[in-house]
């Protein structure tokens, strides 16, 4: 999720040629763009007001989310006031709490933020009715991700998968590849076949460090398994662990081949994520596959003429170890003030009905296992949703989002920079692991 | 203030109600006004006195020189409050904050400063700042001087000046975006690399089969340097197969099908072709619809020397004849496969700082030109004329007369630029891609990233960096203020 926002921000920046435009758009995003959802029905909450804050804005996500709130307003008669938070949700909500006016309900984009808020006592444990909906509709992993110290605080309403590899169908046809690979060995072989066929197998927008951490997390989760993954997320095991080195060696099987990457490693390191999408799906494609998150689909639609489903398709990230990884992100609804409206809204958010409203509009994956996959508007989203639900308790959050930003989220530093250096020269696995450990030890102090 | 009821005399430029002439020197409206001001009891009374003659002489005798302290204080108060709030308080707070840890709760004294000078990232930032200060102001002043001197002599000076000054009208962020595109790595988008590739390809023709290679396993060919040679020795009379892969599908569609070559007496024959059919095809065999590769240069080597050379035909077949009996190695020359020249990685780790300095020079050369141009216009012509009459060459006039006379202006431009360059932030922030941002880092950017970015920003360390940056800018500021004073005094 964080990755998604970053990439969008950067693209907007490059697209807008005038700085003034940038300033205005930022101001507009921060300024109050409050929307009222009027009370229409005559429900139990008639006359009550519920304030909601979340990251979604604009005609796409913002409008879709408002429909969900509208449905809640209709059902209960409550008046819902929605405020978009801007990119930095934690900072926005922090200032609201300090100002004594937190929203009733907020959607937190990272599990780390949820834990931090719970520790500070800024959020309230879920009411019983919402909890029973949660237990009915969500896998245990989601309940755990929304909990801290034995109390459940959050309901994950929206999720995203980073374990998808998007490919150009024509390139696979030219190379005569009928079946997308399912194991890492297959994946390496597919890359070799694509290369033999005259196509560059892979594009990487490695100028954005998070692209590389997503690769690493997928391979690591698959190689080491969910338990080790959890330990490494909390830095309970060291980055010099054999599993980390094994994951790096796997990555080197792809990164180490000059002719596997569009533009070679040097070119890849100069390409930002938005630039890597046209490298695969643009008018004069340079590569065949683009490992990335589910939102690559909307990037393909908006930035190129390729059509998802006909020209472009995806396959799940291949299994480098025992099982295929599912790494992702999620936004959790939490209660910041214990009001009847907030209780009702949380209960509603946990229902299958709430998930269906956004699912039908597209651009959304729900972790709600009771949601019928038929609700999704197309086959691609259905398959991504299925992968997330099927992963069940093996679903894992993006590890770099869980780490301190100095390690897992800073341009030109920590894991981002070290993996970029590893891409430039993947020969020194031990040295890279040592560097990761050094940086992690500094950041996790 | 009662005496000011009469309108000021028309020859007086100063507004009658000018508040506090006290601290600063009053703007002189002419010798008469100057004298009047120096005699007058309060500046506000000056015009009245000048207008009404004798009546105010009585008033002058009654009051002491200068305004009463409370009045001066009153007039200065708003400015002092603003200065204290907006300048003094933030500086003091930053100093204080730099002694605390990330959360601001624990006093760590000088730990932040120690961290800063032992941390290699910040050290790179300091080093880059030094490069900036050493290169950018001097370069910009030099360009400004050249432009200013040249535009004095040309006919369309105004138009030229407007064009050179234009970048100043663009914001730093926009200039950064423009130059990220100029420096873009891919020649299709980055204009500099388009030029670099164009020039390069004019002198060194692009190869027909860039990136084409033998299969990595089980191929009868192996790499030798950047060329490919046969693993086995070949005798005249043999027909060989030279399979290659990685021919782009689009290119394959233009080619003719490959054909197996027939053996010929006293010659080595063979086929060089794209050994890839969708779904695989049989390895090292010409099958399916596999295409021949025309115009591939093939050499026969005996004992390290080239015995014969040929190029392949449209169907990929070739004949090397006129060979003495014996064993030969076939070589596919490097020139067939050389990777295309992709230009320079301008924003890569090595060149990123010079590249960004280039963009900065583009922006600020106009500023320097305008200031130096103004200084140039103020130079007394007779000094130049005198030098010319004395037989000085144009270069000597420029070097020995113009530049010394311009020195004060050049100094102002230079020092102003030094201050600006020390604080450089936006260009680097916009232009450096993630993979080389560390190599382009400067103090102001480092301060911002440390203080405000991410979930656990460290404003203690950020404040420490800000303090060091402040200390670096300080000497330049003091120098500038002194110069202004010296000029006015």
Q: C-alpha A415: how far from its chain's center?
A: 18
Query: Residues 94..153 of B with a Cβ closer than 8 Å to A: which?
Result: 121
Residue in A closest to B435 by C-alpha: A207
The helix/strand/coil state of B319 is strand
Are B246 and A198 within 8 A, CB to CB?
yes
* Pair of tokens at residue B332: 């596919």
Are B171 and A20 within 8 A, CB to CB?
yes
CATH code: domain A164-318+408-443 is 3.40.190.10
Residue in B closest to A206 by C-alpha: B435
Q: Give start and end residues of each alpha helix (H) in A237-288.
A: 242-255, 264-269, 273-281
For residue A417, the chain B residues in CB contact (below 8 A) are 435, 438
Query: Residues 446..465 of B with a Cβ closer than 8 Å to A: which?
Result: 449, 453-457
* Pair of tokens at residue B331: 């070589």
Residue in B closest to A413 by C-alpha: B438
The helix/strand/coil state of B298 is strand
Sequence-distant (6+) residues with CB within 8 A of A162 are A3, A214, A217, A218, A292, A293, A294, A327, A328, A329, A398
pLDDT of residue B15: 44
Gyration radius (Cα) of chain B, Å: 38
For residue A193, the chain B residues in CB contact (below 8 A) are 280
d(CA A128, CA A114): 19
Are A14 and B435 within 8 A, CB to CB?
no
CATH code: domain A35-153+328-394 is 3.40.190.10
* Pair of tokens at residue B329: 């190695």
Nearest to A14 among B180, B347, B455 (CB): B180
* Pair of tokens at residue A369: 């296992």
Nearest to A412 among B172, B211, B438 (CB): B438
For residue B186, the chain A residues in CB contact (below 8 A) are 263, 267
For residue B434, the chain A residues in CB contact (below 8 A) are 207-209, 272, 411-412, 416, 420
Nearest to A17 among B177, B216, B453 (CB): B177
Structure letter (DSSP) for residue B105: -
Are B433 and A178 within 8 A, CB to CB?
no
With a cut of 80, say whether residue B133 has pLDDT above it. yes
Do B438 and B121 touch, CB atoms closer than 8 A?
yes
Choice between B252 and B96, residue whose per-residue pLDDT is larger: B96
Q: Which of A182, A130, A187, A173 is nearest to A153 (CA)?
A: A130
What's the ipTM?
Answer: 0.70
With a cut of 70, say whether residue B32 has pLDDT above it. no
Sequence-distant (6+) residues with CB within 8 A of A417 are A209, B435, B438
For residue A206, the chain B residues in CB contact (below 8 A) are 435
Query: Which residues face B310 on adjacent strands?
Result: B298
Category of A334 on φ-ψ map: left (φ > 0), alpha (ψ -120 to 50) or beta: beta
d(CA B173, CA A24): 14
Residue in A closest to B180 by C-alpha: A14
d(CA A105, CA A80): 10
Query: Which residues face B311 on adjacent strands?
Result: B297
pLDDT tens string B278-334: 876 788 888 878 889 998 999 998 888 888 899 999 999 999 888 888 889 999 988
Domain ranges of chain A: 35-153+328-394, 164-318+408-443
**Surface-to-core class of residue B170, CB atoms within 10 Å of its CB (0-12 exposed, 13-18 middle, 19+ buried):** middle
pLDDT of residue A206: 92
Q: Give the other-Cβ count within 10 Å of B415's Cβ.
A: 18
With a cut of 80, say whether residue B24 has pLDDT above it. no
With a cut of 90, say whether residue B218 has pLDDT above it. no
Residue in A closest to B453 by C-alpha: A410
Q: Give the other-Cβ count within 10 Å of B177's Cβ.
A: 22
Q: How confident is the model at residue B489 (pLDDT cuts 50, 70, 90)?
A: low
Choice between A433 and B8, residue whose per-residue pLDDT is larger: A433
Are A270 and B456 within 8 A, CB to CB?
no
d(CA B275, CA B296): 15
Low-confidence ranges of chain A (pLDDT < 70): 1-43
With a cut of 80, say whether residue B62 has pLDDT above it. no
DSSP string of B168-195, one letter each residue: GGS-HHHHHHHHHHHT-SSTTT-HHHHH
Sequence-distant (6+) residues with CB within 8 A of B125 are B441, B442, B443, B445, B446
Query: Which residues face B298 on adjacent strands?
Result: B310, B332
pLDDT of residue B455: 56
Do B311 and B206 touch, CB atoms closer than 8 A?
no
For residue B347, the chain A residues in CB contact (below 8 A) are 270
pLDDT tens string B64-88: 677 788 888 899 999 999 999 999 9
- Find the distance separating the first CA and the last CA of chain A, reported in whole Å: 25
pLDDT tens string A294-309: 889 888 988 899 999 8
Residue in A closest to B248 by C-alpha: A198
Nearest to B276 among A20, A196, A266 (CB): A196
Nearest to A196 among B246, B251, B432 (CB): B246
Are A404 and B435 within 8 A, CB to CB?
no
Are A263 and B434 within 8 A, CB to CB?
no
Residue in A closest to B458 by C-alpha: A406
User: Sheet harboring B305-311: ordered strands across?
Assistant: B221-224, B227-230, B329-332, B297-302, B305-311
Q: Which of B3, B129, B141, B12 is nearest to B62 (CA)?
A: B3
- Find the distance separating the first CA and the last CA of chain B, reported in whole Å: 31
Query: Which residues face B257 on adjacent strands?
Result: B291
Do A406 and B115 touch, CB atoms closer than 8 A?
no
Choice between B43 and B225, residue whose per-residue pLDDT is larger: B225
pLDDT of residue B40: 40
With a cut of 90, say whether residue B414 has pLDDT above it. yes
Q: Which of B308, B305, B293 is nearest to B254 (CA)?
A: B293
Q: What is the maximal distance between C-alpha atoms in chain B?
A: 130
CATH 1.10.3720.10 region(s) of chain B?
119-185+347-458+468-488
Specify which of B52-66, B124-138, B270-284 reaches the highest per-range mean pLDDT. B124-138
Segment (H or E) for A152: strand A151-152
Query: Residues 340..379 of B with a Cβ closer than 8 Å to A: which?
Result: 342, 345, 347-348
Are B342 and A14 within 8 A, CB to CB?
no
For residue B453, the chain A residues in CB contact (below 8 A) are 405, 410-411
Please give the backbone phi and psi of residue A17, each rounded to the nearest 5 degrees, phi first. Answer: -85, -25
Which CATH code of 1.10.3720.10, 3.30.70.270, 3.40.50.300, 3.30.450.20 fits the domain covering B119-185+347-458+468-488?
1.10.3720.10
Segment (H or E) for B407: helix B403-422
Query: Which residues face A155 on adjacent strands?
Result: A333
Are A112 and B455 within 8 A, CB to CB?
yes
pLDDT tens string A28-78: 344 344 444 444 445 677 888 999 999 998 888 899 999 999 999 999 999
* B430 in contact with A, Cβ within 8 Å: yes
d(CA B429, CA B176): 8
For residue A267, the chain B residues in CB contact (below 8 A) are 185-186, 342
Do A433 and A239 touch, CB atoms closer than 8 A?
yes
d(CA A145, CA A152): 9
For residue B438, the chain A residues in CB contact (below 8 A) are 412-413, 417
Choice between B457 and B221, residue whose per-residue pLDDT is larger: B221
d(CA B52, CA B58): 11
Give A53→chain B minimum CA distance, Å: 19
Across residues B386-394, what is the average pLDDT? 90
The helix/strand/coil state of A364 is coil
Residue in A closest to B249 by C-alpha: A198
Q: What is the maximal distance between C-alpha atoms in chain A?
A: 68
Query: Residues 11..50 of B with a Cβ closer than 8 Å to A: which?
Result: none
Do A373 and A395 touch, CB atoms closer than 8 A?
no
Is the sign of the CA dihedral A170, A176, A179, A184 positive or negative? negative
**Surface-to-core class of residue A427, CB atoms within 10 Å of its CB (0-12 exposed, 13-18 middle, 19+ buried):** exposed
pLDDT of residue B450: 83
* B211 in contact with A, Cβ within 8 Å: yes
* B193 in contact with A, Cβ within 8 Å: no
Give A215→chain B minimum CA distance, Å: 16
Residue in A closest to B431 by C-alpha: A14
d(CA B331, CA B239): 15
Is the sign of the CA dihedral B39, B41, B44, B48 positive or negative? negative
Sequence-distant (6+) residues with CB within 8 A of B383 are B401, B405
Mean pLDDT of chain A: 86
Are B347 and A270 within 8 A, CB to CB?
yes
pLDDT of residue B27: 43
pLDDT tens string B325-384: 888 999 998 888 887 788 888 998 889 999 999 999 999 999 999 999 999 988 888 988
């Amino acid at each position: 999720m964080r990755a998604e926002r970053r990439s969008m921000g950067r693209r907007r920046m490059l697209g807008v040629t005038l700085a003034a435009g940038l300033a205005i758009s930022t101001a507009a995003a921060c300024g109050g763009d409050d929307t009222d959802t009027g009370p229409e029905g005559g429900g139990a909450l008639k006359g009550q007001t519920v304030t909601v804050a979340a990251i979604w804005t604009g005609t796409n996500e913002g409008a879709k989310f408002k429909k969900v709130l509208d449905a809640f307003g209709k059902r209960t008669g409550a008046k819902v006031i929605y405020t978009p938070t801007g990119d930095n949700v934690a900072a926005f909500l922090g200032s609201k709490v300090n100002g004594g006016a937190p929203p009733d309900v907020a959607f937190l984009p990272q599990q780390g933020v949820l834990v931090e808020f719970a520790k500070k006592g800024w959020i309230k444990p879920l009411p019983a009715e919402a909890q029973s909906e949660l237990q009915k509709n969500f896998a245990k992993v989601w309940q755990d991700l929304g909990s801290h110290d034995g109390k459940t605080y959050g309901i994950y309403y929206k999720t995203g998968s980073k374990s998808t590899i998007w490919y150009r169908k024509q390139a696979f046809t030219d190379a005569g590849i009928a079946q997308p690979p399912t194991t890492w060995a297959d994946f390496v072989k597919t890359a070799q076949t694509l290369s033999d066929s005259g196509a560059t197998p892979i594009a990487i927008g490695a100028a954005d460090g998070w692209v590389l951490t997503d690769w690493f997390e997928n391979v690591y989760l698959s190689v080491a398994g969910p338990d080790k993954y959890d330990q490494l997320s909390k830095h309970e095991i060291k980055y010099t662990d054999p599993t980390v080195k094994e994951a790096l060696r796997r990555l080197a099987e792809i990164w180490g081949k000059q002719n596997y990457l569009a533009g070679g490693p040097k070119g890849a390191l100069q390409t930002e994520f938005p630039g890597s999408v046209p490298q695969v799906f643009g008018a004069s494609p340079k590569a065949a596959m683009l490992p990335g998150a589910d939102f690559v689909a909307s990037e393909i639609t908006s930035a190129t003429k390729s059509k998802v489903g006909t020209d472009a398709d995806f396959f799940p990230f291949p299994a480098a170890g025992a099982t295929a990884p599912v790494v992702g992100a999620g936004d959790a609804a939490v209660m910041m003030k214990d009001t009847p409206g907030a209780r009702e809204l949380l209960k509603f958010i946990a229902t299958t009905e709430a998930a269906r409203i956004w699912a039908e509009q597209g651009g959304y994956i729900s972790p709600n296992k009771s949601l019928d996959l038929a609700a999704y508007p197309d086959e691609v989203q259905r398959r991504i949703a299925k992968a997330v639900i099927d992963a069940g308790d093996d679903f894992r959050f993006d590890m770099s989002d869980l780490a301190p930003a100095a390690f897992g989220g800073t341009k030109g530093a920590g894991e981002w920079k070290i993996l970029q250096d590893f891409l430039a020269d993947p020969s020194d696995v031990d040295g890279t692991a040592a560097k990761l450990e050094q940086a992690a030890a500094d950041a996790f102090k | 203030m009662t005496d000011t009821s009469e309108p000021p005399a028309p020859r007086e430029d100063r507004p009658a109600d000018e508040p506090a002439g006290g601290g600063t020197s009053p703007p002189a409206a002419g010798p008469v006004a100057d004298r009047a001001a120096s005699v007058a009891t309060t500046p506000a009374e000056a015009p009245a006195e000048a207008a009404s003659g004798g009546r105010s002489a009585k008033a002058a005798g009654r009051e002491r020189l200068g305004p009463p302290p409370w009045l001066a204080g009153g007039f200065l108060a708003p400015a002092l409050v603003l200065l204290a709030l907006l300048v003094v308080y933030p500086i003091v707070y930053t100093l204080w904050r730099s002694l605390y840890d990330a959360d601001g709760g624990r006093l760590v004294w000088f730990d932040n400063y120690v961290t800063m000078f032992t941390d290699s990232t910040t050290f790179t930032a300091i080093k880059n700042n030094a490069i900036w200060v050493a290169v950018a102001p001097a370069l910009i002043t030099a360009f400004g001087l050249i432009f200013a001197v040249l535009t004095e002599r040309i006919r369309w000076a105004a138009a030229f000046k407007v064009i050179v000054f234009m970048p100043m009208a663009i914001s730093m962020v926009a200039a950064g975006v423009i130059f990220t595109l100029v420096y873009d790595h891919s020649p299709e988008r980055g204009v500099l690399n388009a030029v670099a590739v164009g020039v390069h390809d004019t002198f060194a023709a692009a190869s027909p089969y860039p990136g084409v290679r033998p299969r990595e396993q089980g191929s009868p060919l192996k790499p030798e340097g950047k060329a490919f040679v046969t693993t086995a020795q070949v005798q005249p009379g043999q027909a060989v197969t030279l399979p290659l892969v990685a021919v782009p599908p689009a290119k394959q569609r233009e080619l003719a099908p490959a054909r197996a070559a027939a053996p010929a007496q006293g010659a080595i024959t063979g086929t060089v072709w794209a050994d890839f059919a969708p779904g695989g095809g049989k390895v090292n065999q010409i099958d399916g619809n596999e295409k021949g590769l025309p115009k591939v240069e093939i050499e026969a080597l005996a004992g390290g020397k080239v015995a014969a050379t040929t190029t392949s035909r449209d169907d990929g077949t070739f004949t090397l004849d006129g060979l003495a009996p014996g064993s030969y190695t076939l070589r596919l020359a490097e020139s067939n496969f050389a990777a295309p020249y992709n230009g320079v990685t301008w924003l890569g780790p090595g060149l990123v700082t010079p590249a960004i300095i280039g963009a900065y020079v583009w922006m600020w050369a106009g500023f320097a030109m305008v200031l130096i141009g103004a200084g140039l216009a103020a130079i007394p012509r007779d000094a130049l004329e005198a030098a010319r009459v004395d037989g000085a060459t144009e270069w000597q006039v420029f070097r020995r007369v113009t530049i010394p006379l311009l020195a004060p202006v050049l100094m102002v431009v230079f020092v102003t630029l030094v201050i600006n360059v020390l604080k450089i932030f936006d260009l680097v922030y916009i232009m450096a891609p993630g993979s080389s941002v560390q190599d382009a880092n400067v103090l102001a950017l480092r301060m911002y990233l440390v203080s405000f970015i991410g979930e656990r920003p460290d404003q203690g360390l950020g404040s420490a960096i800000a303090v060091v940056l402040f200390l670096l800018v300080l000497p330049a500021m003091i120098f500038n203020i002194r110069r202004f004073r010296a000029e006015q005094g």
